[in-house]
A = this chain, B = another copy of it.
Amino acid sequence: MTLIAQLQAAVGAAHVLTHDDPSTDLSAWEQDWRKRAHGRALAVVRPGNTAEVASVVKACAAAGASIVPQGGNTGLVVGGVPDNSGTQVLLSLTRLNRVRAIDSANLTMTVDAGCVLQNLQTTATEAGFLFPLSLAAEGSCTIGGNLATNAGGTQVLRYGNTRDLCLGLEVVTAQGEVWEGLSGLRKDNTGYDLRDLFIGSEGTLGIITAATLKLYPQPAAKLTAWAAVPSMQAAVDLLGLAQQRLAAGLTGFEVMGQFALGLVDKHFAQLRVPLWQDTPYCVLLENSDFESEAHARALFESLLETAFEQGTVTDAVVAENLTQAKGLWHIRESIPLAQAEEGLNIKHDISVPVSRIPAFCEATDAELQAAIPGMRLVNFGHLGDGNLHYNVQAPEGVDGKAFLREQEERINTLVFDAVARFDGSISAEHGVGSLKRDKLPHYKNPVALGLMRAIKAALDPKGLMNPGRVI
């Protein structure tokens, strides 16, 4: 029996899509979100449950065919699309989309890997809880993809990365066995932490088919403030003060450079960006309060008063209501769109220790300016996590496409070298995928790489799980 026939037997012929019919368009699975890569799969296989995933993996392992797992296909590092060989099996998890259980007293929900993140947020809300993972692609990305890439987002400061929101996993191994690790336990010290090994391994060690996730109580109110700060150091000082005053109530702390906000003002004038014209940076703070909006407001006012006195804030507004709060977040979230309007640019997703961000920015801004006079920095991100989207836009009047072609490699090297000097990471949120795989040997600790290779060889000795990704 051919592999295709075996796959059809495993999941049903209707769920095995191939190029046999030349009119079939598999772009939705073969092309990545940002259209950087368009591969060609042997087949797109869409199993409907965990047992079918295991059958597919067993068939592929026997045939020596490699597997590329895919969730919502919203990844940013070309980690979930097939190569051009026409030999890889694209395993789509989106039909695994059931919420298996909600356990209110245990504050957990157990869900299939193919559930769309936004649907899980809604599921949690309807049960009276919060599932705090939130990121731009939440309307399309799946929780399996979030887990496979250890996704970050806007609530990491309080609730952690996806890793921190997961108690247990169900995984199909490279051998097609099913590890039933859907634990709802908050404490279990009976062996190695397999859960965290699969989380963030980008499908290279096995396939996550379900997870038990943490739920949190819903806050009584969420309040947002917007502050002008005189420097990046002042932003870091304000963060420290906010952490002391609001503690776990501080659920968001975003920094935005003046040029980034200017782009929003230029391209989306209707959003009415506050306070950006006379200050190098603005900060967005979010306070999730479990008492009341009035309590949240009192805490914010006291915090900002102290910050004014200390000189870390020069001007500030506190949202009057939920609509205003959403409006402020909307400005923050519009920066990527505004920079796209302005033209192509070179994107980074870096982290350094929070304490070193001011020095990193000062040194790297200057280096970039010296290397490419007139380059424009779209600097914004999750300052509370030490994570910046430190993007470089062409000098005014320079064609974006030509700029990318001529400068991308040089600018990446300059920024990544600076990140390395400041003990940072060249991929804070987005992962490695294919896009940054060749960078790892240069920027990752060699002993760590050796350990990673040993683990990969041990768990996937045939090298069939998402080959060419991560290592």
A164 contacts which chain B residues (CB < 8 A)?
164
Nearest to A424 among chain B residues (CB) is B185
Query: How far is A445 from B169 in the complex, measured between Cα atoms in Å?
Result: 12
Contact A452 B191 (CB under 8 A): yes
Which single member of B189, B243, B351, B354 contacts A431 (CB below 8 Å)? B189
Encoded as 1 (CB less than 8 Å from any B CB) or 0, chain A from 314 to 328 comes to 000000000000000
Which of A21-29, A104-112, A261-269, A392-400 forms part of the interface with chain B?
Answer: A104-112
Contact of A304 with B by CB under 8 A: no
Query: How far is A153 from B287 in the complex, measured between Cα atoms in Å?
Result: 29
Query: How far is A426 from B244 in the complex, measured between Cα atoms in Å?
Result: 38
Would you give the shortest CB distance from A149 to chain B, in whole angstroms? 7
Interface residues of A in 88-104 (CB under 8 A from B): 103-104
- The number of chain A residues touching the other chain, given as a range, is 35 or more
Query: How far is A230 from B189 in the complex, measured between Cα atoms in Å?
Result: 31
Query: How far is A155 from B205 in the complex, measured between Cα atoms in Å?
Result: 33
Query: How far is A470 from B290 in the complex, measured between Cα atoms in Å?
Result: 42
A248 contacts which chain B residues (CB < 8 A)?
247-249
Which of A66-74, A137-145, A174-182 forms part of the interface with chain B?
Answer: A174-182
Contact A425 B351 (CB under 8 A): no
Contact B106 A355 (CB under 8 A): yes
A sample of 26 cross-chain residue pairs with beta-carbon separation below 8 angstroms, ordered by A number, consists of A104-B355, A105-B237, A105-B240, A105-B355, A106-B354, A149-B189, A152-B187, A152-B189, A177-B450, A183-B423, A185-B352, A185-B424, A186-B351, A187-B428, A188-B425, A189-B430, A189-B431, A190-B425, A190-B432, A190-B444, A191-B448, A192-B455, A192-B470, A217-B243, A217-B244, A219-B247
Closest 6 CB pairs of A and B: A248-B248, A458-B458, A105-B355, A196-B196, A188-B425, A187-B428
Interface residues of A (CB under 8 A from B): 103-108, 149-150, 152, 156, 161, 163-164, 173, 177-181, 183-194, 196-197, 199-201, 205, 216-217, 219, 236-237, 239-240, 243-249, 290-291, 299, 351-356, 382, 385-387, 423-432, 436, 440, 443-445, 447-452, 454-459, 470-471
